[in-house]
Amino acid sequence: MSQARRIGLFGGAFDPPHQAHVALARAGLAQLQLDELRIIPTGQAWHKSRSLSPAADRLAMVKLAFADLAGVLIDERELNRRGDSYTIDTVLALRAEQAQAEFFLLMGADQWAAFTGWHRWQELAALVHLCVARRPDLADAPEAGTLEVTWLDLPPMPVSATGIRGQVAAAPAGGSWADLVPPAVARYISDHRLYAQP
């Protein structure tokens, strides 16, 4: 019998996608021996109060950021969904499409710390393997109850999209922020004058 296909899921606002996102994806693909990793840019996420950059810009940057990673596939379904968008809906849809697959949900420690606040989190936890990357300020985040989690083998990286947006606003023409994102993403940010306002 053939082995179940191992599918990783990595969602985020990706506003913008940065080096830690790419490192996390690379680590997940290798460590979890994924057959495919779906990058899933969120619509207007229910748990983020800030309004996001246009979907078209975030999608374009995600395509540029992950272009070199074999096995990555960009899944646009959440961008196309109207109304509230929840990870459980995405996972249920994917399971309906690929009933035999095993799913691995990748996230950073900030999301993990908030996981028990996610919509239908118990149901979600029963459907996926939870795989978490440490973040510097959250290295000791409490684990959500008795849920099993796989820690990704990745040193904590002090990079956040919030920090990058702030740095771009302070120096739109270019600055040390350009090293925190893949080069093509840095060019896209400059060319499209993203994040000029803090």
* Shortest distance, position 8 Cβ to ligand ATP, whole Å: 12
Task: Please count the residues of this chain forming the interface with ligand ATP, following the rule CB under 6 A.
Answer: 18
Q: Does residue number 161 form part of the binding site for ligand ATP (CB under 6 A)? A: yes
For residues 41 and 11, what is the distance between their CA atoms, to the nearest angstrom? 6
CA distance 119 to 105: 15
Residue among 15 and 78 whose Cβ is closer to ligand ATP: 15
* Cα–Cα distance for residue pair 60/70, rounded to 1 Å: 18
Q: How far is the CB of 35 from ligand ATP (least distance, A)?
A: 21
Cβ nearer to ligand ATP, comparing 94 with 108: 108
Task: State residue 123 phi and psi, 5-degree precision.
Answer: -65, -45
Q: Supply φ then ψ for residue 102, to 5 degrees.
A: -105, 135
Under rule CB under 6 A, residue 107 binds ligand ATP: yes
* Candidate list 7, 22, 24, 37; residue touching ligand ATP; CB under 6 A: 24
Question: Closest CB to ligand ATP among 4 and 48?
Answer: 48
Torsion-angle region of 127 (φ positive above 0: left; ψ -120 to 50: alpha; else: beta): alpha
CB atoms closer than 10 angstroms to residue 92:
15
Question: Residue 78: how many CB atoms within 10 A of its CB?
Answer: 19
Please give the Cα distance from 129 to 38 (Å, whole number). 14
Question: Binding string to ligand ATP for residues 38 to 67, with x set by CB under 6 A, is what?
Answer: ------------------------------
The answer to whether residue 14 forms part of the interface with ligand ATP (CB under 6 A) is yes
Under the criterion CB under 6 A, does residue 110 sit at the interface with ligand ATP? Answer: yes
Nearer Cβ to ligand ATP, position 18 or 94?
18
Contact positions toward ligand ATP, by CB under 6 A? Answer: 12-15, 20-21, 24, 107-108, 110-111, 133, 135, 157, 159-162
